[in-house]
Structures are given as C-alpha cells and as structure tokens.
A and B are shown apart, each in its own frame.
Chain A
Amino acid sequence: DQQVKQNSPSLSVQEGRISILNCDYTNSMFDYFLWYKKYPAEGPTFLISISSIKDKNEDGRFTVFLNKSAKHLSLHIVPSQPGDSAVYFCAASAVFKTSYDKVIFGPGTSLSVIP
C-alpha cells in the first residue's frame, strides 16, 4: 500500500500557464514533505520542501501548499516553462524520528510544458 500517492501519471500544460501537481499521503506521522524533479538520464534533484508547521512555501516560480487535514500537498509552477518538463516526485518523511532520513517517494508525475 503506497503511503505517498501521485494519482496523475502525466500532465500537459501550455507554456506560461500554471502547472499544478498533486500529492496525497496516508501516514499522519509524516511531518516534512519534499518535491524532487528528475530529467531523463539524471538522478532526482531536490526542488522545494515544506515542514508541517507551515501551509505554504515559495521559491521563485515554485510554491508548495500543504493541507494537513486533507493529507494533501500540491506544487504550483508559475509560469511554466519548457525546461520544467520532467518527472516530479513527491516525498514525505518524519523528521528526527530516526538517525537517518527515511523518505518515502511517490510514483511521480510526468510534466510536459508545451511551447
């Protein structure tokens, strides 16, 4: 049973418009959430994160929203650019619960930004 779900395997968006990628989780113990971006033939790279004490975190064109009651987070990319075309992984972890970072990843959403 997946603890982190990304129900949209793919998403296509026009350049300049907003991309919204969604993620749901089941474990209420998760208190730190991350988004990673992966290009073909490369490893995932960290994009943005949010702690459960916040409901929004913004970094340039990227904003992550967290709704703890719904166990839902989303990544907004505004404006979308063709270089944003990649697979986006949502991930969740419990901070300081262990001596290492056990991060649970979702299956990913493939974003295509159309010029």
Chain B
Amino acid sequence: ETGVTQTPRHLVMGMTNKKSLKCEQHLGHNAMYWYKQSAKKPLELMFVYNFKEQTENNSVPSRFSPECPNSSHLFLHLHTLQPEDSALYLCASSHPGYNIQYFGAGTRLSVL
C-alpha cells in the first residue's frame, strides 16, 4: 500500500463521545499535518509534526488532541466536540523543506 491512508472515512459522533482519527503514510516523509476543511472555506491548518515533534498548533481548541508516535502515523483524538466541528479532516505528509504535500482522502466527521 502506498500514499496516505486515513481511517475511518466517515464518522458520526455525539458531543459526549471520544473518538480518534488515524493517518498513516507510506511515503517515507518526516512531516505530517492535520487540516480541517469546512464547507466553502479554505483548508485550515491545525497541527504540524516534524520528525515526530509538534511544530505548530494553529490555535486549535483543546478538544482536539494530536498524537504522532512515529513519522509514519498521526492521530487526532476527539472529545466533547461541538456541532460546528463537523467538517472534513485531512491528513497530509511531506518531506521537510519541500512544499508539496500529499493528502489522504479525509475523514468526514459529523457531530450531532
């Protein structure tokens, strides 16, 4: 398997649930990213990990908690989300110092 894989593809959760999104890349990259895409809005960068270290937290609420155990895996832990958090969550990876990012297909999240 190659590329960037995200699971699950779809997720429906209540406001009191705890869930996790998973991202795995098989491209040998060392930088990984979480983006949020809401309807009619640009992709919003949430978190960046570079060589497993978090290098950016773009003022994301604490109900989103990222985890990067190694350069190939990235998680986004979700708890007590709000309905406005419903969106497409995209993971991407790249080589550090290169601008071209490779994206997964995303997780479509609905918070009820």
A residues at B contact (CB < 8 Å): 2, 4, 9, 32, 34, 36, 41-46, 49, 89, 93, 95-96, 98-108
Contacts and interface: CB of A to CB of B under 8 A. Distances in A.
Contacts of A105: 42-43
B66 to A, nearest CB: 14
Contacts, number: 67
Contacts of B94: 100-101
Given A34-B100, A49-B99, A93-B99, A100 B55 contact: yes
A44 B48 CA distance: 17
Nearest to B94: A101
A108 B98 CA distance: 22
A44 B41 contact: no
Interface residues of B, number: 26
A107 B44 CA distance: 10
Nearest to A46: B100
Contacts of A89: 42-43
A65 B49 CA distance: 32
A48 to B, nearest CB: 10
A44 B103 contact: yes
B99 to A, nearest CB: 5
Contacts of A100: 31, 48, 50, 55-56, 94, 96
Nearest to B4: A43
A97 to B, nearest CB: 10
A4 B43 CA distance: 11
A70 B97 CA distance: 27
17 contacts: A9-B40, A34-B100, A36-B103, A42-B105, A43-B4, A44-B43, A44-B103, A45-B103, A46-B100, A89-B43, A99-B96, A101-B98, A101-B99, A102-B56, A103-B101, A106-B42, A107-B40
Contacts of B40: 9, 107
The 4 lowest CB-CB distance pairs between A and B, nearest first, are A43-B103, A105-B43, A107-B42, A100-B50
Interface in B62-112: 90, 92, 94, 96-106
